[in-house]
Amino acid sequence: MVSISADLRNRAVDILESGRVLFLPHHGFQVTERERKLLSPSVVGKSKNVSYDPRTGAVGGAVLSGGDAEMLRDMIARFSDFAQELLLALIPRYKDGIVRARASFRPVEIEGRATSWRKDDSRLHVDSFPSAPTQGKRILRVFSNVNPEGRGRVWRLGEPFEQMAKRFLPSIKRPLPGSAALLKILHVTKSERSEYDHIMLQLHDRMKADTQYQKDVEQMEYEFPPGSTWITFADQVSHAAMRGQYQFEQTFLVPGSLLQDENRSPLRILERLVGRALVGEPVGN
């Protein structure tokens, strides 16, 4: 059972919903001695992550077989349980309605990894799912660094969400009529995109594509050491992963109705800025 002080519980929800990172230096995930052999890039082959779906138990991205594959799945499943227990101990109000989405194990060094600009997580961005529209649900992520060599996970954190949105919104056009339905029919998306999802995806792409913005925007660098856990609403916090290896991550979707103050969410901020509702009827209907 995770032990959380009353003071930390009282502060946690405000820290997260105001667009900050909750850093927990003494609430790390423990890899067992037997599992330590899985801390190797070789478990993923050409992939960068191992994914785990807690709803089905399915694992993707790994190249292991037999007992090692089972051990890897059990390790990530144990982290997924750890992340949920920790989160709900911190913020009990999220319990009824939160969705536990995929978890991942990231054993590959991120620094120097070759990828396209759109998939380059070393560029400042806010999270948005191209194929899985959230319809306004928040993207909350729990991370733990288990690096056995004592190396930290290094992030950059950028400007506040509303400030970033004001910068890029003028260049974002409304989606074409019927585009959301077409994307679903073509299986590009699993459900129809709301205008909110359209804007969030455009913000993600425009941030990453703008090299001058990446260089000039106000930002700070933070290091999360081994044995620590950090939690953030990744759809609100401008972040970039710069260095580090051997990290776990668990994603949760949080409905706006569970938030302490929904007015601080990206959905409500964007609706204020554009002057209209962004979730409801699918785009193009």
pLDDT digits (tens, 9 = 90+) for 155-210: 999 999 999 999 999 999 998 888 888 888 988 888 899 999 999 999 999 999 99
Query: Which CATH code is given to the segment(s) 6-111+119-273?
Result: 2.60.120
Domain ranges of the chain: 6-111+119-273
Beta strands 50-52 and 59-60, pairing class: antiparallel
In the sheet with 138-145, reading across from the earlier edge strand, the strands are 21-24, 229-233, 138-145, 247-254, 99-106, 50-52, 59-60
User: What is the pTM assigned to this prediction?
Assistant: 0.94
Q: Which pLDDT belongs to residue 188? A: 85
Could you tell me which residues are beta bridge partners of residue 144? 229, 248
- Which CA distances in Å does 282 have to 183, 193, 210, 211? 11, 6, 29, 32
Mean residue pLDDT of the chain comes to 94
CA–CA dist 100, 13 (Å, integer): 18
Q: Which pLDDT belongs to residue 177? A: 87
Question: Band of the pLDDT at 45, cuts 50, 70, 90?
Answer: confident
CA–CA dist 54, 76 (Å, integer): 9
Neighbours of 281 (CB within 10 A): 11
pLDDT, tens digit, 9 for 90 and up, residues 62-116: 999 999 999 999 999 999 999 999 999 999 999 999 999 999 999 999 997 878 8
